[in-house]
Chains A and B, each alone.
Chain A
Amino acid sequence: MSRWTKERVEEALTGPLSRRTFLKGMAAAGAMAVLPCGLLAPEAAGATESYGGGYTVFRNACPRNCYDTCAIKTYVQDGVAKFVEGAPESTFTRGGLCVKGNSYIRSTYSPDRIKYPMEQQGRGTGKWKRLTWDEAMDKIARKILAIKEQDGSLLGLGLTKYSGNFGITNYGVEGMMSSLGYTTRFVGTPCWPAGIDAQNFDMGSMWCNDPEDMVKSRYIIVWGANPAWCSVHSMKYLYAAREAGAKIVVIDPVFTQTAAKGDEYWQVATGTDGALALGMCRHILDREMYDKDWVAANSLGFEEFADYLRSNVTVDWAAKLSGLPAERIVAVAEEFAAARPATVWIGYGLQRHVNGGATVRAIDALVAMTGNIGKEGGGARYGHLQTWGFNYHAMVQKPPEGAVGFVGASGPKGEFDFAGGDKTVKHTDRAVNINKTAQEILDARNPPIRMLWASCKNVLSQDFDRPKMIEAFGKLEMVVVVDHFFNQTVEQADIVLPVTTCLEEWTVNVSYWHYWLALNEQAVKPLHEARSNIEIAAALSRRINELAPGSCTFPTEIDTREWMEAEFNKGIYDLFGLKSWEELRDGPVKAKLASSAAWHDRKFATPSKKYEFKSELCAKNGHEALPAYKEGRKAYDKLRLLTPHSKFSLHSQFQNLDWMEEFNPAPVVYIHPRTAEARGIRHGDAVRVFNKVGEEKLRAVLTANVPPDALLLYEAWFNGRKFNCQNLVDDTSADMGAFKTGAPGVAIHDQFADVARA
């Protein structure tokens, strides 16, 4: 007779009769039930299987601020998500994810997650006490009521929220604020507002072609975007177009992975893209290679634009500013104008400048004058919100009876604000600029911002001028942070609340790039004590109404699946050809498009209904009516400082996971060898990067992929490290953004610094 072994026990444990194998006699009859004060309890009668059931597949969607917004299939066994894969039904992702999306199991089941509501005894002290949800809600509710008592309004309560989770029900965070009354809202977007305004002035809206139609392009300029890292699923369309004969030109100050894949690469002097585009326009004009019929039929102000080009722009001028050879500008301009169709992918990086909106208008003009707008395979591709017409059921909440707010100015906006404004409402929220969060907190008076609620946002990592932000936080009486991981914002919080990951909540997602709609099911029960944003809102409403009845209109009990369902409407169903959201359980669905081209009917949404080379609306908003060149920011230090996106993170998300740390363990600064040599810096040296804002210490990596006049360090939050690129980035505004998003953008890439050995 053989003996028991480890393997035999495990085999028996995981077999179908495990209980009967081990438990006999009295114990089987219930002896286990009598353990005193035990944490474990007798299992429900009839629980016969605990291990190795079949997989159940759930539908999820990556809700990050990303072009690709991938539909995900999650395989769940025994209540545990085992692995994820891209939804094969999407022709855009074709069953793939990216390095970040593939890590969702690691993030949901990371031992580092914030697990419980907790309160810090002194910000930054690390002295944390655990709270029950009831205790946390009680403390928060009492503070909100005290603010109302003290100020007579809730304008002392500020909300900052952005793109940490774009699942539509997460607009319930804004809804929670509205249901409490009129509050202070950090409005605008740090991401893309200058370009949004530019496209609104030119065309009346931001609307891009379906990225899947890039296969039809015969010429593609990827201008200031790095899809090889930031939109991996778009790359296959570039390759397919090239196989069909298209040429791919990549324009970027940095030799990116995308640049390496292009046929021609232009290392443009940072911030001079507008001059480059206008130089190309001038040459096309001179050669009469522009599309005369298109311009005549569909545009306004082309003659004035042509006059502007003739009097102010030459190819040599563009070459001198951009640092590119005139003969290449001429050659590519001619190739672009001759190709039918040709397209430009306008990246977000090139508009994060004091002249960013003007730059986008110049590039739009290049695409328009060559007749490429409204054509499949053409287009000035920037982004779109065509598929975002949800109900915003979670977001749209009424203020309580008698709520007092801000009087006089318009309420908050944002690129995703579809609620519209009720002009008859006398009181509004107080809107302040999200891109100057620190300054707004410091400046707010009557009342001051006393309390900050941060959700879907890592303020200390993503907002500008960190030294000033620390000072601003000093003014706040209470900071509540809702997050997954202990980041630099949680470090400065009084109360932290654990929030669900996308695998643990019901919501629905769309993209600002492709045209797919994806359901996000609750694939697994929330780990620890995590709750979704709308469940947190309901819990707060419950407590604050117990303390002061009638002080919050947010429902106190919600079914999160029903709230997901409530986001759908006839418009969404018709656009996607759906009868019910339940059809999305079979996979993501693409919008039924009359054409893959934006503006395919040439009916522009501008005041003239034409493409406006000359926009009076733009002039009325304080800019040039024509897409004229606008000077960049004057350098305030020796080298340009670039802080773009890393491959391993989306802003401050993902980099903290062990899988990412293995490949990207520590922040570095990339320096051109000549620049380094002049400063006696060798590869791997510890260096100091410093400017008027602050300083960062990190290792130097020497590479000719960055221009000699620039330093590059990727934005990200590294777990357990003090590194923060916002110690080197000030909050100077971009030119545009206020028109459509409520606040101007921010000149993230108009920053300067120097470097020295540490």
Chain B
Amino acid sequence: MSHPDAALAALRDFFAAGSGAELERACARLATAGCVPPPEADEDLEYDFNRLFVGPGRLAAPPYASVYLETEPRLMGETTLLVRAVYHALGLASPRQSALPDDHLSLELDAALALRAAAGEADGPEMAALRRYFLAEHLGRWLPAFAARVREASPHPAVACAVSRLLDWLDHELSAVPEYGEYGRDERQRRCV
């Protein structure tokens, strides 16, 4: 796995963390991306992570795309189903189904990794368009709003750093991802992209 992919995987696992131990491990991996890991057994990070992203209270920054992209914030909206369709187009699905809505940040970052891999393996104009779509029309539209909600909520430094790296990654991807290519089913046309 290349270095940017390793950082992305660490971010994915940070937002997927289901316990203090998993958070700690993700933080250790984010250290290579310049985030200073919190001291060992820093329970404040876990409490703050849960306040922002997990519960049980009203979340300060819900990590679900549909909260930011639907007309009225909710889970399992049209956005969620479009994201599920993206996974399906990649031959993937979330084994957790409704136990973790498809547009949870951790799953979307996993899909972003898959798209990078797919770009290498099957570099057709369709896959390029899908990648462009997922980055620019989807992640690019909600991650900045999500990051703003996190920042407004005075997060723990480790969370602040992870979110900052998330935006860095997004900016880098958006600058690197090509504009939409031409649309058509003709093989000759496809090679011209």
What is the interface of chain A, defined by CB distance below 8 A to chain B? 1-6, 8-10, 12-14, 18-19, 21-28, 30-33, 35-44, 47, 50-51, 78-80, 105-106, 109-116, 118, 121, 126-130, 132, 486, 490, 496, 498, 524-529, 658, 719-720
Do A26 and B183 touch across chains, with their CB atoms under 8 A apart? no
Do A720 and B58 touch across chains, with their CB atoms under 8 A apart? yes
7 intermolecular pairs with C-beta atoms under 8 Å apart: A24-B126, A32-B118, A38-B110, A47-B93, A111-B59, A127-B43, A129-B47
B153 within 8 A of A: no
- Roughly how many angstroms separate A51 CA and B46 CA in the complex, as a whole number? 36
Q: Residues of B contacting A129 with CB < 8 Å?
A: 19-20, 43, 46-47, 50
Do A112 and B59 touch across chains, with their CB atoms under 8 A apart? yes
Q: Closest Cβ of chain A: how far from B153's Cβ, in Å? A: 13
Quick one: which of B55, B113, B114, B132 contacts A116, CB cutoff 8 A? Answer: B55
Do B50 and A118 touch across chains, with their CB atoms under 8 A apart? yes
Do A1 and B117 touch across chains, with their CB atoms under 8 A apart? no
- Roughly how many angstroms separate A129 CA and B90 CA in the complex, as a whole number? 35
B39 within 8 A of A: no
Do A27 and B55 touch across chains, with their CB atoms under 8 A apart? no
B36 within 8 A of A: no
B122 within 8 A of A: yes
Do B91 and A30 touch across chains, with their CB atoms under 8 A apart? yes
Give the secondary structure class of B's interface.
helix
Q: Closest Cβ of chain A: how far from B4's Cβ, in Å? A: 15
Q: Residues of A contacting B91 with CB < 8 Å?
A: 19, 23, 27-28, 30, 32-33, 42-43
Q: Residues of A contacting B126 with CB < 8 Å?
A: 12, 21-22, 24
| Known A31-B117, A115-B55: A109·B133 in contact at CB below 8 Å | no
What is the interface of chain B, defined by CB distance below 8 A to chain A? 1, 9, 12-13, 16, 18-20, 43, 46-47, 50-51, 54-59, 62, 64, 67, 72-77, 80-82, 84-101, 106-107, 110-111, 113-114, 117-118, 121-122, 124-127, 129-130, 132-133, 137, 180-184, 189
Q: Residues of B contacting A19 with CB < 8 Å?
A: 88-91
- Roughly how many angstroms separate A15 CA and B114 CA in the complex, as a whole number? 21
Do A31 and B93 touch across chains, with their CB atoms under 8 A apart? no
- Roughly how many angstroms separate A13 CA and B111 CA in the complex, as a whole number? 15
18 more A-B contacts (CB under 8 A) besides A115-B55, A525-B98? A5-B183, A14-B85, A24-B126, A31-B122, A35-B113, A35-B114, A39-B96, A109-B77, A111-B74, A118-B54, A127-B47, A128-B56, A130-B18, A486-B55, A490-B56, A498-B56, A528-B100, A529-B99
- Roughly how many angstroms separate A44 CA and B94 CA in the complex, as a whole number? 11
Q: Look across to chain B and name the residue whose beta carbon is closest to the beta carbon of A44.
A: B93
Do B74 and A106 touch across chains, with their CB atoms under 8 A apart? yes
Do B110 and A527 touch across chains, with their CB atoms under 8 A apart? no
Quick one: which of A8, A24, A43, A528 contacts B129, CB cutoff 8 A? Answer: A8
Q: Residues of B contacting A41 with CB < 8 Å?
A: 92-95
Do A27 and B9 touch across chains, with their CB atoms under 8 A apart? no
Do B84 and A51 touch across chains, with their CB atoms under 8 A apart? yes
Do B43 and A121 touch across chains, with their CB atoms under 8 A apart? yes
Q: Residues of A contacting B62 with CB < 8 Å?
A: 111
Q: Closest Cβ of chain A: how far from B50's Cβ, in Å? A: 5
Do A32 and B114 touch across chains, with their CB atoms under 8 A apart? yes
Give the secondary structure class of A's interface.
loop
Quick one: which of B56, B111, B132 contacts A4, CB cutoff 8 A? Answer: B132
- Roughly how many angstroms separate A675 CA and B18 CA in the complex, as a whole number? 55
Q: Look across to chain B and name the residue whose beta carbon is closest to the beta carbon of A118.
A: B56
Q: Residues of A contacting B113 with CB < 8 Å?
A: 35, 38
Q: Closest Cβ of chain B: how far from A270's Cβ, in Å? A: 36
Q: Residues of B contacting A498 with CB < 8 Å?
A: 56
Do B183 and A2 touch across chains, with their CB atoms under 8 A apart? yes
Q: Residues of A contacting B184 with CB < 8 Å?
A: 1-2
Do B12 and A43 touch across chains, with their CB atoms under 8 A apart? no
Q: Closest Cβ of chain A: how far from B135's Cβ, in Å? A: 11
- Roughly how many angstroms separate A719 CA and B20 CA in the complex, as a whole number? 27
- Roughly how many angstroms separate A9 CA and B138 CA in the complex, as a whole number? 12
| Known A27-B121, A31-B122, A51-B84: A486·B58 in contact at CB below 8 Å | yes
Q: Residues of A contacting B43 with CB < 8 Å?
A: 121, 127, 129
- Roughly how many angstroms separate A238 CA and B82 CA in the complex, as a whole number? 47
- Roughly how many angstroms separate A109 CA and B126 CA in the complex, as a whole number? 33
Do A23 and B122 touch across chains, with their CB atoms under 8 A apart? yes
Do B56 and A115 touch across chains, with their CB atoms under 8 A apart? yes
Q: Residues of A contacting B18 with CB < 8 Å?
A: 116, 130, 132
Q: Residues of B contacting A5 with CB < 8 Å?
A: 180, 183
Q: Residues of A contacting B77 with CB < 8 Å?
A: 109
| Known A118-B55, A121-B43: A527·B101 in contact at CB below 8 Å | yes
| Known A4-B182, A109-B77, A111-B67: A130·B50 in contact at CB below 8 Å | yes
Q: Residues of A contacting B121 with CB < 8 Å?
A: 25-27, 31
Do A116 and B54 touch across chains, with their CB atoms under 8 A apart? yes
- Roughly how many angstroms separate A648 CA and B67 CA in the complex, as a whole number? 23
Do A9 and B133 touch across chains, with their CB atoms under 8 A apart? yes
Q: Residues of A contacting B58 with CB < 8 Å?
A: 111-112, 486, 719-720
Do B122 and A80 touch across chains, with their CB atoms under 8 A apart? no
- Roughly how many angstroms separate A22 CA and B90 CA in the complex, as a whole number? 7
Q: Look across to chain A and name the residue whose beta carbon is closest to the beta carbon of B118.
A: A27
Do A22 and B55 touch across chains, with their CB atoms under 8 A apart? no
Do A13 and B82 touch across chains, with their CB atoms under 8 A apart? yes
Q: Residues of A contacting B86 with CB < 8 Å?
A: 13
